[in-house]
Each structure stands twice: as C-alpha cells, then as structure tokens.
Amino acid sequence: MSLLHRAGLWASALAPLLAATLAMAAEPPVVYVQPLQPAPSERALAEVVAALQAFYPVQVRVLPAQPLPKAAWYAPRKRWRAEVLLDWLAAHMPVGATKVIGMTAADISTRKGAVADWGVLGLGTMDGKSCVISSFRTTRGVSEATARERLAKTAVHELGHNYDLDHCPNVGCLMEDARGKVATVDGESDLCSACRAKLAARGVNVPAKPAVPWRAPSK
Ligand SMILES: [Zn+2]
Ligand SMILES: [Zn+2]
C-alpha cells in the first residue's frame, strides 16, 4: 500500500513536468519564409506557405520582407548568386528556427557543372538550413496561376534538399531534376514513395494525400 501511495505521489509531482515535455515534443519545428525584395505577390507567398504546410510537419511562419543582400549581386549578369543567398539566409535565421526559405522575384543563379553562372528556379543546401526560390523563371508564356504553382512546387523541392533528399529519377516526383526546363515542374504533383520513405526515416512524415494548392498534372 505504502509503495503504491508513494508511486502515486511521484506521478502527481511529475505530471506537470511530463505534460510540459510532451507539449514541447508535440510542437512542430518552425520553418521561416523570408521574402527578399523584389518579392513575389502575396498570393504566390500564400501558395508557397500552403504547399510547404501540406507536405511537411512544420509550422511555417513568414518574416518581414528584406532587400536582397548586396553581397549576392552578380554584376556580369545582373542577377543574384543563390549560394551567397543560402549563406546569408542561414546566418540571419531567427533564434529557434530550424530552416529558412528565401523567396524572391529577382533572377538567381549558381554554378552548374562547367557553367559558371546558370539561372535557376531555386537552390537548397543538402541536409542544411536554408534554401531559396525565385519566381523569375516561372512566368514566361504561362498564366499567373501556373507560375504560382511552379513556385510552390519549387518550394517543396528545395526544402526537400534541406531534408537531405537528392534528385529523384521517378518521373512526376517533386524531387525530379528540372534539367534546365521549367516545364518539368508542370508534370509533377507529389513526392514519390521512395522520397517519402527517406523523409520518414528521419522523422518527417508526409501525409498520404497532401492538400496541395495546385491542380493535378494533365497526363
Ligand atoms: Zn534540386
Ligand atoms: Zn521521388
């Protein structure tokens, strides 16, 4: 009896602490979106947030817009170096943040193989803290709605790199390599089962049917 009683006391003394610990564990990690001026529209931003929230078990918060950091300016091509932006974003992350996604309407570029300055839709550090996306290459010849879909899909792709996903050979997977063609993105809609399994192995569980803010690709 006395043992049980003591156990009961212990349990009641520890209950608040245990509850607090569980609440901390249940709180999803925070991923910040950092608009970099010139930034995409509010509607584009909302779709990026919705897409990230659909796939990743995180809290997405939007930071106040900031000008693109001058250190990333690449004068020869009048555009912005994505890898410099990644370093800047990681260095300026709010306390307690796990990841940050820079988002701009300006043209961004990086080295790709033998090409010293290659324009990109986005760039993300593998297993890292920062990625960056640009709407600049999403707009040509398509509706604003399609351009927004491309940007939102790019956000899911680049954050996937931050979660250590590499490019995926499965056609239609959001982790496909665009191979320089933005139209590749139009054929994508979801993460494949292989990419989902890799994410699940590191505790990132993607819902079976993510509430994506885009239409299913026409086949
Ligand atoms: Zn990629
Ligand atoms: Zn995949």
Residue-range domains of the chain with CATH: 26-201 (3.40.390.10)
Question: What single DSSP character describes residue 77?
Answer: G
Q: 30-37 and 59-62: which strand pairing?
A: parallel
When pLDDT is averaged across residues 155-162 and rounded to a whole number, the result is 98
Cα–Cα distance between 99 and 162 in angstroms, integer?
8
Q: Compute, in angstroms, the gap from residue 163 CA to the centroid of ligand 2.
A: 13
The ligand placed nearest to the CA atom of residue 112 is 1
When pLDDT is averaged across residues 124-135 and rounded to a whole number, the result is 98
Q: Compute, in angstroms, the gap from residue 173 CA to the centroid of ligand 2.
A: 5
Cα–Cα distance between 187 and 190 in angstroms, integer?
10
Q: Residue 216: pLDDT band by 50, 70, 90 thresholds?
A: confident
Tokens of 53: 């929230």
Of 167, 145, 139, 158, the C-alpha closest to 213 is: 145
Contact call for residues 51 and 212 (beta carbons, < 8 A)? yes
The ligand placed nearest to the CA atom of residue 172 is 2
Q: Whole-prediction pTM value?
A: 0.88
The pLDDT value recorded for residue 180 is 84
The whole-chain average pLDDT of the chain stands at 91
When pLDDT is averaged across residues 9-26 and rounded to a whole number, the result is 62
The pLDDT value recorded for residue 22 is 59
Q: Compute, in angstroms, the gap from residue 10 CA to the centroid of ligand 1.
A: 52
Unique residue bearing structure tokens 């050979």: 169
Whether the pLDDT of residue 202 is over 50: the answer is: yes
When pLDDT is averaged across residues 79-104 and rounded to a whole number, the result is 96
Whether the pLDDT of residue 183 is over 80: the answer is: yes
Whether the pLDDT of residue 156 is over 70: the answer is: yes
Whether the pLDDT of residue 1 is over 50: the answer is: no
Q: Compute, in angstroms, the gap from residue 218 CA to the centroid of ligand 2.
A: 19
The pLDDT value recorded for residue 198 is 98
The pLDDT value recorded for residue 54 is 98
Bridge partners, residue 109, by sequence: 81, 119
When pLDDT is averaged across residues 180-208 and rounded to a whole number, the result is 95
